[in-house]
Every structure is written in structure tokens, then in C-alpha cells.
Amino acid sequence: MLTWFSFALRRMALRAGASIVGAILMLVGLGFFTVALWILLVEMRDPLFAATVLGGIYLGVGLIVLALAMRHPRRKLPYGYPPAAPAPPAGVGAAGVPGATMPGLMGALMQGVGAGMAAGAARRQPPPE
């Protein structure tokens, strides 16, 4: 048990370290690409044009990232609930009998009729004194 835990912890640390190093390298590459694009745009036009284009690009990418971060993912059921039972095939009831198509509905109907009769009987009887 402890061996498995230490292995999992070591693997998680290696993944986190590799992710951090990868993110740092991507930021350095983004810096170089920014400088290269700056030089290219200054050669084409002037520094004001280069700053406007680069600012627009970074603003657009930032807005896209914010929009993606603000989306609401589809919510899944918590792990405590069992999955829903599959529906029976057409023509076969819940009990698996081909003629019994709605036993739950009939039971609910009978329960409602019984509750209505009990309420009517209680209304007719005078309250005990």
C-alpha cells in the first residue's frame, strides 16, 4: 500500500515538474515570437503599427481564453447515485410480462382513488368531541 502511494506521488511530482518546465519553455518561445513579429512589423510600417497589431492579438487571445474559462461544463451526477435503469422493450411491462404495460400507473391511480375516498369519508363524519 505504501509502495503504491509513493509511486503515485512520485509520478504526480514528475508530471507537475514537466508541466511547469513546458509552460516556462512555451512562455520563452512566445517572447521570441513576439520580438520577431515586432521586428517584422516595424520593418513593414512603424512602431505604432507594430504595437497596435501585437496589442490586438494579445487582447483577442486573452478574451478567447476568458470566454473558454467562463463556460459552464455539463454537470454529471454525483458518484453516490446509481445509474438509471434501462427502459424495458416495447410491449413488455416492468415485470417482464408482455401484457402488463403500466402497473406503476395503475397503482398510483388506485392510491389516489383510495386517498380521495378517505378524504370524503373524513369530511362527512363529524369531528369527535
CA 48 to centroid of chain Cα atoms: 43
Q: Where are the beta strands (DSSP E) in the chain?
A: none
Residue 25 lies in a domain: yes
Q: How many CB atoms lie within 10 A of CB 93?
A: 14
Residue 118 lies in a domain: no
- Per-residue pLDDT tens digits for 72-104: 776 665 666 666 677 666 655 555 555 555 667
**Domain total in the chain:** 1
Which domain does 37 fall in, by range? 8-69
Q: Is residue 115 part of a domain?
A: no
Kindly state whether residue 34 falls inside one of the protein's structural domains: yes
Cell of 15: 508530471
CB 94 within 8 A of CB 104: yes
Give 111's DSSP letter: H
36 domain-assigned: yes
The 10s digit of each residue's pLDDT in 15-24 is 888 889 998 9
pTM: 0.46
Residue 38's CB is within 10 A of a number of other CB atoms, namely 15
